Structure 1
Amino acid sequence: MTEPIPILQVLVSTRVGGGPQHVLTVARGLRARGWRSIVAGPADGPLFARLGEAGVETAAVRTDRLAPGALLRLVRLIHRHRVRLVHSHGKGAGLHGRLAARLTGVPAVHTLHGIHYERYPAPARAAYLALERRLAAWTRVVVNVSRAQEREGLALRLFTAGQSRVILNGVDVARLTAAALDRTEARAALGLDPASTVVGCAARFDEVKRLNLLVEAVAAVPALTLALIGSGAEESRLRQLAAARGVAGRVRFAGERPEAARLFAAFDVFGAPSRKEGLPLGMVEAMALGLPVVASDIP
């Protein structure tokens, strides 16, 4: 009997979010098709345990920071498990994973889950783009999650047309539907009034998501309640904004929720006001569950 081919998936976080959830879905799918996935990344969130529960091998590696020890650990994993392919996701994972692949002579694939660099100071912006171009030279395939992202990456010379493959973020609709709570259960789980009109969003609290626009919308429409699932650097600012607008009582910060889509029945509409995106998984999940989506008009 042929041994399953081992693939090392490298990610930058196992906190609740689209990227880690994507890796979990990919690892499950590969395992079901007879491939062996080993996922390496920080044990900083609930997705790390859930990967193990799904039968996926895991290795705790601090790929979320520049660390020679992380690179050495990945090289050792590649040798120990005779890895045949390294697939990285995210900036830090892309650096460590592709360097490890280069050092061991293993082919590398990298998925760009969005291209975010505009907020960096000019020197850091130039350094980031130069580094991505160098790493691309060591990458067999660069996966883009949307055509718009591919166009941007080609314009920035982050990869060549021959390297690029567009694979849209997908969701397991049957799994989503089976796990979803009904409206009453979902609202109770989030502490929402059964009779209120709820705009909801599940995302990391990052400036690029522009969740402040949802808070402003609730302030402008007194009948609305806002439910935000997630966490991140912008949470304090969002709470301050809700208080300043006098709507703190109508903005529910629900925290990080694994399998957040199971709670989407609590929403009347899903809001996605991002300034820029690759292809947000939460929005795709909402659409798959038949939830109306209001999204920003971005390329």
Structure 2
Amino acid sequence: MMLGLRGIPNVQGGVEKHVEMLASKLLGYGWDVEVVGRSRYLEDRRIYVWNGVDVLPLWAPRRMALEAIVHTFLGVCLAAWRRPDVLHIHAIGPALMTPLARLFGLKVVVTHHGYDYDRQKWGGFARRTLKLGEFFGMRFSNGRVAISKDIAQTMRARHHVGMTLVPNGVAITQPTGGAGALAEFGLTPRRYILLAARLVPEKRQLDLIRAFSRCGLKNIRLVLAGGAEFETVYVKEVRALAQEVPGVVLTGFQSGDRLAELFANAALFVLPSSHEGMPIALLEAMAYGLPVLASDIVANQELDLSPDDYFKLGDIDALAAGITEKLAAPLNDEEVRERAAHAEATYSWTNVAQRTAAVYSALLAK
């Protein structure tokens, strides 16, 4: 049973994408998988099956500070009743409920997806709660997974526990040609810059819009593909600035063929974020063979891109210069194919599932 996410399939978020891909791949290794999601994000309010995975809708309050923790508490109680062989909790916020799960006699695996207490949206109390969730998840779980080398090394040093490194994977959807996203938003292939991310402060959409406005580009648009679960001050600021700067397109949340069409036809993918666990959207851009430009945070640097693929976090002039340079030197077809092949070979969801299944098997063998 997997817990700690909004739900699957096609629900916005890195953890959601991780679980969506992992759960379906685990079926090939003989595991039955149940995913507990928050009912308002799911296709149906009743239990349903998606690609062989059982999806269990469960109520959660519609308040940013309470949604995850209340839902996880209810999910752990549900797990205590259903008695899965393994309860897999994703992210350090939901990991706050690890001691309760252990008290119920459950075998618990926790995946650390990133230092969520560093996200700009949280206040002091929420940050302390998330750090407590990290402590409980690392100290009380039976098995621990990290999605990046930095997280694995930090948790070993900080909590003196064993960690299994299982990086995120990447799988691309080739557009069918009939998705209609380009036509709907008036976009021309290779004439737009793309960022696919939720509208939250740590993704730094404001930085990107400001940098784009300084570039003075003609016939190039900036596409921000992503939505928001809550109408925050930051979301309002992004929308207001997007209206002021010509050429900025807000598409809202996109998935499936429509998102694939946006990726496949972009001229450049930019990720200016201040916080990532391991950036799935950046991996996807690499798998499409796109030129990329990313902030120089540790999580992005773990992907070991070329030095000119990075810019200093928060430096809008450097970001603008990087955008201009990238667009002035587009990749040729051979470079696109090489980048795509390297990304798909290096970051395989099949490998993610295999290594995760090994964590489960080792736990049950004890």
- Answer yes or no: same fold by TM over 0.5: yes
Residue 131 of structure 1: CA displacement?
3.8
- Which residue in 1 is equivalent to 2:337? none
Specify the SS of the correspondent of 2:21. helix
For residues 222-237 of structure 1, the aligned pairs below 5 Å read: 222-223=217-218, 224-232=220-228, 233=232, 234-237=234-237
Residue 132 of structure 1: CA displacement?
2.2
The separation in 2 between residues aligned to 1:254 and 1:150, in whole angstroms, is: 35
Specify the SS of the correspondent of 2:140. coil
Residue 92 of structure 1: CA displacement?
4.3
Specify the SS of the correspondent of 1:137. helix
- Which residue in 2 is equivalent to 1:238? 238
The separation in 2 between residues aligned to 1:148 and 1:48, in whole angstroms, is: 38
The separation in 2 between residues aligned to 1:284 and 1:56, in whole angstroms, is: 24
Q: Does 1:251 align with 2:248?
A: yes
Q: Which residue of 9, 13, 19 maps to 2:15?
A: 19
Q: Does 1:52 align with 2:46?
A: no
- Which residue in 2 is equivalent to 1:5? none
- Which residue in 2 is equivalent to 1:285? 284
The separation in 2 between residues aligned to 1:51 and 1:33, in whole angstroms, is: 21
Q: Which residue of 24, 31, 42 maps to 1:28?
A: 24
The separation in 1 between residues aligned to 2:221 and 2:57, in whole angstroms, is: 39
Q: Rate the CA distance shift 1:186–1:243 in 2: closer, same or farther, 3 A.
A: closer
Q: Does 1:202 align with 2:196?
A: yes
- Which residue in 2 is equivalent to 1:111? 111
Q: Which residue of 186, 202, 206 maps to 1:212?
A: 206
For residues 44-193 of structure 1, the aligned pairs below 5 Å read: 44-46=40-42, 52-62=49-59, 64-67=67-70, 71-80=73-82, 82-96=83-97, 98-118=98-118, 119=120, 120-154=122-156, 157=158, 159-162=159-162, 164-172=163-171, 176-177=172-173, 179-181=174-176, 187-188=182-183, 190-193=184-187
Q: Does 1:10 align with 2:3?
A: yes
The separation in 1 between residues aligned to 2:222 and 2:188, in whole angstroms, is: 13
Residue 277 of structure 1: CA displacement?
1.2
Matched-pair contact (CA < 8 Å) for 2:149–2:165: yes
- Which residue in 2 is equivalent to 1:273? 272
Q: Rate the CA distance shift 1:275–1:198 in 2: closer, same or farther, 3 A.
A: same
Specify the SS of the correspondent of 1:110. strand
Residue 127 of structure 1: CA displacement?
4.0
Q: Rate the CA distance shift 1:263–1:46 in 2: closer, same or farther, 3 A.
A: farther
Q: Rate the CA distance shift 1:196–1:285 in 2: closer, same or farther, 3 A.
A: closer
Give the letter aligned to residue 28 of structure 1.
S
Residue 126 of structure 1: CA displacement?
3.4
- Which residue in 1 is equivalent to 2:338? none
Q: Rate the CA distance shift 1:268–1:136 in 2: closer, same or farther, 3 A.
A: same
Matched-pair contact (CA < 8 Å) for 1:11–1:39: no
The separation in 2 between residues aligned to 1:243 and 1:26, in whole angstroms, is: 38
TM-score (norm 1): 0.81
- Which residue in 2 is equivalent to 1:295? 294
Residue 274 of structure 1: CA displacement?
0.7
- Which residue in 1 is equivalent to 2:325? none
Matched-pair contact (CA < 8 Å) for 2:144–2:164: yes
The separation in 1 between residues aligned to 2:59 and 2:235, in whole angstroms, is: 24
The separation in 2 between residues aligned to 1:198 and 1:183, in whole angstroms, is: 19
The separation in 2 between residues aligned to 1:277 and 1:290, in whole angstroms, is: 21
- Bigger shift: 256-265 or 103-112? 256-265
What do residues 130-178 of structure 1 show as CA deviations (whole Å, max 9, x unaligned)?
A: 34213322112222111123344445x2x4342x111110023xxx24x
Residue 184 of structure 1: CA displacement?
9.7
The separation in 1 between residues aligned to 2:35 and 2:25, in whole angstroms, is: 13
Specify the SS of the correspondent of 1:133. helix
Matched-pair contact (CA < 8 Å) for 1:21–1:47: no
The separation in 1 between residues aligned to 2:112 and 2:128, in whole angstroms, is: 18
- Bigger shift: 48-57 or 281-290? 48-57
Matched-pair contact (CA < 8 Å) for 2:4–2:90: yes
Give the letter aligned to residue 180 of structure 1.
P
User: How many pairs were matched up?
Assistant: 278
TM-score (norm 2): 0.68
Q: Which has the higher helix share?
A: 2
> Which stretches in structure 2 are left out of the alignment for 5+ residues?
61-66, 299-366
